[in-house]
Amino acid sequence: MTHHPTQSPQFFLTAPSPCPYVDGQFERKVFTHLVGDKAREMNDLLTQGGFRRSQNIAYRPACESCRSCVSVRILAGEFSPSKNMRRVIARNADLIGAISDAEPSTEQYSLFRSYLDARHRKGGMSEMTVLDYAMMVEDTHVQTKIIEYRRRGPDSFITGRGEGELIAVALSDKMADGLSMVYSYYNPELEDRSLGTYMILDHIARARAEGLPHVYLGYWVNGSRKMNYKVRFTPQEHLGPRGWERYKNEAV
């Protein structure tokens, strides 16, 4: 049995591999295990230091010649949606997100598979099996939740749950200072709903309701089309050499 000390975590460095975001670059990651009774506390500290969680692993880029990946967090208490974002909220007013413990289901995996096949067929997650998906959801030692989005029903105001088909899912960690969006996916046929944007807006609303100051979005790479959406949610802070600093998006 492998022993992972809870007081002094060990950090490891991956071998170089081609970067999926910057052509010609090679990525490396530093990582550690999030296990034991200190996992939640460690996840909070590491996330505030620019790490991300995947299952029971916390990692962050440690590339030798590139610093393009920047950690991003939204200042939930100061956030005000743009006119376009308000339209997205109105467009999805018929949805309700029911939060529960991080438990996988065949319905979730079916939607997850449809999303990957439509949006990320050549991505690193494209070959994930139902077992891989189950591990992604439930292999966690921190406070992780699943939010399932469905259309509102006549009893939703009582049950807090929607009805009918599963439209979108978010896997999120609750931390002392905010919510961290680990992974989200949605029905790719409902492109006009802008469900990716909607789920971020919903997380901002949830963070504010709980008095949590931040929503962590992971990494942003300037110039990457895949990540451009992240800097639309302002005000936000980016983690740099001098710590977390407010980002000024000239395009907003």
Q: Which two tokens stand for residue 141?
A: 């030692």
Same domain, 99 and 182: yes
Distances (CA, A) of 184 to 83, 148, 175, 189, 199: 23, 10, 18, 15, 8
Query: Domain total for the chain?
Result: 2
Last residue of a domain, one of 186, 206, 226: 206
Question: Are residues 48 and 151 located together in one domain of the fold?
Answer: no
- Position 9: which residue type? P
Domain match, 192 and 117 both: yes
Q: What is the 3-state secondary structure (H, E, C) of 161-222?
A: CCEEEEEEEEEEEEECCEEEEEEEEECCCCHHHCHHHHHHHHHHHHHHHCCCCEEEEEEEEC
Q: How far apart are CA 71 and CA 206, in angstroms?
A: 21
Residue 74 lies in a domain: no
* DSSP three-state, residue 121: coil
Q: For residue 219, is it within any domain?
A: no
Q: Which domain holds residue 148?
A: 81-206
Angle at 175 between CA 169 and CA 179, to 5 degrees: 40
- Over residues 162-184, the pLDDT tens digits come to 899 999 999 999 999 999 999 99
pTM of the model: 0.91
pLDDT tens digits along 185-201: 999 999 999 999 999 99
CB atoms within 10 A of CB 114: 15
CA gap 236, 245 in Å, rounded: 8
Both 126 and 17 in one domain: the answer is no
Tens digit of pLDDT for each residue in 221-232? 988 888 899 999
DSSP 233: S
1: pLDDT strictly greater than 50: no
* pLDDT, tens digit (0-9, with 9 covering 90-100), for 70-82: 999 999 999 999 9
Is residue 248 assigned to a domain?
no
